[in-house]
Amino acid sequence: MNNLPRTLHEARVWLRSGRITSVELTEAYLDRIQQAEPQVHAYLHVAADVALAQARLADERRAAGEDTLVLGVPLAIKDIINVLGMPATAASRILEGFMPPYEATVVRKLREAGAVFLGKTNTDEFAMGWSTENSAYGATHNPWALDRVPGGSSGGSAAAVAAGEAIAALGTDTGGSVRQPASWTNTVGMRPTYGRVSRYGVIAFASSLDQVGPITRDVRDNAILLEAIAGHDPHDSTTFPDPVPPYSQMLEGGVKGLRLGLPREYLTEDMHPGVREATQEAVRVLRDLGAVVEEVSLPYTDYGMPVYYLIATAEASANLARYDGVRYGFSAGAPELQENYKLTRGRGFGPEVKRRILLGAYALSAGYYDAYYLKAQKVRTLIRADFDAVFQRVDALIAPVAPIPPFRIGEAPIDPVALYLLDVLTLPSALAGVPGISVPAGFVEEDGEQLPVGVQFIGRPLDEATLYRIAYAFERATGFGERTPIDALL
């Protein structure tokens, strides 16, 4: 891999100059997948024949004078996003072998732009999890420490990028599922403003929260990929009609004069000391670069976790009702309809998905709707108002992404509430619908292992450009993202 481009923008230069063809680049990444997958398990489906066919077509298009942001570049797609000709399982037994009849808008945009799809990446089942251990098809391993998780639910996409098994990848972020795995794999992950990217063709978890976001090796790549997938979509009425800015051309300018807020509620007492130190060091770097960093308050932060796990589970219970063993996917084959429903859903869904369906069904049930779901929506409005108020004072926020570094596979807390608290720093901004980006912020030592952690920048709605500008300045000043596990992995 040392003699190949590792970033999207570098690959574009090589491809444009003729230094490499898309077929050669794709073959190299397919070889890398074959080498690394026994250890990492980032993919659920590798589409070698499809990828090579797309690469040949990309080379033909380039020879004919075409050029796009992603022409001929090998990408990976989280297995919760529909790609025609590839399975879409959402890492669940209930969708084992399912082939979608239509394609996600983000995938269609990339296909039309000439991207190459290497395959579908592992995820927590229906994107419900923090570690990619909830997949029905086995856990993904963190390339930095193979005994540890890569985060979740987009852990397969993040691990694939970190391990050099894809130049870049798409994930989804409902409550932190792009930013948290990016933080734990030393990659860059962006959750765009809700409505900036189409959800059409994305297997739904919580419809008012789900967003597709890019996971990449560096900030410039992330800006390029978001630029390629963002925009209005008539198939998704929540998407904004606003034109997509040229994010990849808006990285310069630095942070001098920008006002950044550090939410006091985000530096919790039980946070890992290494994470706290990394965040404080990030603040120091940004101040040295000329930014003004001040402490701010988001008073309703503590309500983010309970509000999220009422709203998200309620929406999940409704969205997942369609998996009944009748129309598509797994069926238990029982002769009686009601018995078939029970057996199909009992065998097809994993424990975490069942837990969330039950929580959501309870919150929506007669007599409890007003007390739980409706009240959660009202508090969500207050959380959004917190962000609106603080953005009157500052241009963006800086905060840690996760309170701890990645834990060992199989050592997650047994208590579900303790697990849910792993998302405590990413849930509020997801509920508010504002954008956030995780960037590498250094490494902490844990039991003799050097583990990556990230810092996130949170911005105003539709102000991804400012977040990219801050992240790019921070990335250039620190160089944390230049470290890679690729050479040491095998």
Amino acid making up residue 397: L
List, as one string, the DSSP characters of 217-239: SSHHHHHHHHHHH-S-BTTBTTS
Cα separation, 486 vs 144, in Å, equals: 9
Q: Chain centroid to CA 147: how far?
A: 21
Say what the alpha-carbon torsion angle 379, 384, 388, 389 is, to the nearest 10 degrees. 30
First to last CA, the chain: 12
Residue 429 annotated in active site: no
Is 183 considered catalytic here? no
Q: In this structure, what are the phi and psi dihedrals at residue 261, rounded to the nearest 5 degrees?
A: -105, 140
Q: Is the dihedral of CA 425, 431, 434, 439 positive or negative?
A: positive
In the set 92, 135, 154, 177, the catalytic residue is 177
Strand ranges of the sheet holding 449-459, from the earlier edge strand across to the other edge: 43-46, 116-121, 74-78, 168-173, 211-216, 188-191, 436-446, 449-459, 396-400, 259-263, 292-296
153 is annotated as an active-site residue: yes
Q: At what angle do helices 219-229 and 8-17 cross, to 10 degrees?
A: 80
> What SS3 class is residue 448?
coil
Rg (CA), the chain: 21
In the three-class reduction of DSSP (H, G, I as helix; E, B as strand; rest coil), residue 320 is classed as helix
Q: For residue 439, give Cα distances in angstroms to 75, 165, 219, 232, 434.
A: 20, 20, 8, 27, 17
Distance CA 15, CA 73 (A): 9
Quick check: 94 and 344 in contact, CB under 8 A? Answer: yes
Per annotation, catalytic residue among 22, 78, 131, 183 = 78
- CA separation for the pair 29, 43 (Å, rounded): 13
The number of angstroms, rounded, from the C-alpha of 278 to the middle of its chain's C-alpha atoms is: 21
The residue from 92, 131, 153, 438 that is catalytic is: 153
* Residue-wise DSSP of 356-388: HHHHHHHHHSTTTIIIIIIHHHHHHHHHHHHHH
Could you tell me the CA-to-CA distances from 155 to 161, 376, 449 in Å, in that order?
10, 28, 19
Question: Exposure string (b/e) for 230-265, b if CB count within 10 Å is 16 or more?
Answer: bbbbeeeebbbeeebbebbebbeebbeebebbbbeb
Q: What does the DSSP 8-state code read for residue 265? A: G
Element (H, E) at 399: strand 396-400
Q: Which residues are catalytic?
A: 78, 153, 177
